[in-house]
Structure 1
Amino acid sequence: MKAWKQWLAVLSLAALPVLPTHAADFKLGFINVERIYREAGASIAIYKKLDQEFAVRRDELKKMEARAKDLESQLGKNSLSQDDRKRFEREYASLDRDYRAKSREFGEDYNQRRNEEFAGVTERANRALKDIAQREQYDLILQEAAYINPKYDLTPQVLKELDK
């Protein structure tokens, strides 16, 4: 057993001079996907398009919010008759139920449309990244990292490729 450990140690020491040569040839890159989704010209156009597409529904939700605030202030008054108070409470409960349902539906529809639209941006970004990687001979490109040195960030290059 001891001979095996000694043999492994000798083999490891023999391999040490080779490691720096391989490490010097290794080319690493990083891409920030969230930044692509925020800053690419196509992404900005998608957000504008979605804002226009969902503006009517967003305004409807804002009107419902305003009405709910109005009802809350009405209910806060002590001068209401019992009948008025019950009517406002029923309207408020109904409005709250409708608002929650429409808000949830709005969020789901918006997310679905956003995902549909961004599928094309993701595909184009991946193609651009692959072209950069092949052209500049990268060995590894990461999309997620806890920390990355800015010198390895390929996001600006991908943004330029996307905006061509």
Structure 2
Amino acid sequence: MTPERRFLLGLVLGVSVLATGAQAQDFRVGFVNTDRIFREANTAKASQAKLEQEFARREKELNELGSSLKAASEKFEREAPTLPEAQRGARQKTLIDQDREFQRKRREFQEDLNSRKNEELQQVLERANRVVKQVAEQEKYDLILQEAVYINPKHDITDKVIRALNTVR
């Protein structure tokens, strides 16, 4: 056997031994679906309920203001042909100002809601990450992923994490 063939055979045997050794090690991978946690965990549901309660009054006021503005606009459309020019212009200007104010209030509401929602989701995520770490340490996972293009369902530990989150106070 030539030295080149011996080297090549040794290299192939070495790689196969390394590959077998790597397979023999117990490398555990898990996956957590954060979207499901945000939908299904009790902490996420409680945060959602808290936000709904916190913003319900403002949302109701906005809806009432929007309905009032729509009714005033429809009334103006019906009456505009019979109104004198000066009165028609004044009412139109008033409606435009009211609509501008309504849009501003709606924008502020949405910004405040989004900001609070992000704060609440961040708290839920922090708690979930602590629980994921506990599950990983208890069950000896080497790697936990939260984002993946594809994951085999046997690696999905989301249910375990949600159950653990629901028992933690």
TM-score bracket, normalised by the shorter chain, equals 0.7 to 0.9
- Is 1:79 aligned to 2:62, yes or no? no
What is the TM-score of this pair, normalised by structure 2? 0.80
**TM-score, normalization: structure 1?**
0.82
What residue number does 2:40 align with?
39
Q: Deviations over 1:45-93 (max 9, x none)?
A: 1111111111111011111221232233234335341344323322221
Instruction: Work out whether residues 129 and 158 of structure 1, in 8 Å CA contact, stay in contact via their aligned partners in 2.
Output: yes
Residue 14 of structure 1: aligned partner: 14
1:98 to 2:101 alignment? yes
Query: How far off is 1:138 after superposition?
Result: 0.9
Relative to structure 1, the CA distance from residue 52 to residue 16 in structure 2 (aligned partners, 3 Å threshold; closer, same or farther) is: same
Show the counterpart of 1:3. none
- Within a 5 Å distance, the mapping from 1:102-141 to structure 2 comes to 102-141=105-144
For 1:86 and 1:147, the matched residues in 2 are separated by 61
Kindly report the root-mean-square deviation, in angstroms, between the aligned alpha carbons of the 2 structures: 2.4
Q: Specify whether residues 19 and 74 from structure 1 end up closer, same or farther in structure 2 by C-alpha distance, changes over 3 A only.
A: farther
1:33-56 Cα deviation digits (max 9, x unpaired): 121111111111111111111111
Aligned-residue offset at 1:162: 0.7
Q: Tell me how far apart the structure 2 counterparts of residues 11 and 22 of structure 1 sit (CA, whole Å).
A: 16
Identity fraction in percent: 41
1:4-37 alpha-carbon deviations (Å, 9 max, x no partner)? xxx7997467314422542452211111112111
Distance (whole Å) between structure 2 residues aligned to residue 59 and residue 104 of structure 1 = 15
Structure 1 gap ranges (5+): 1-6
CA 1:8–1:160: 2 relative to 1, 3 Å = farther
Of 47-56 and 70-79, more deviation after overlay is shown by 70-79
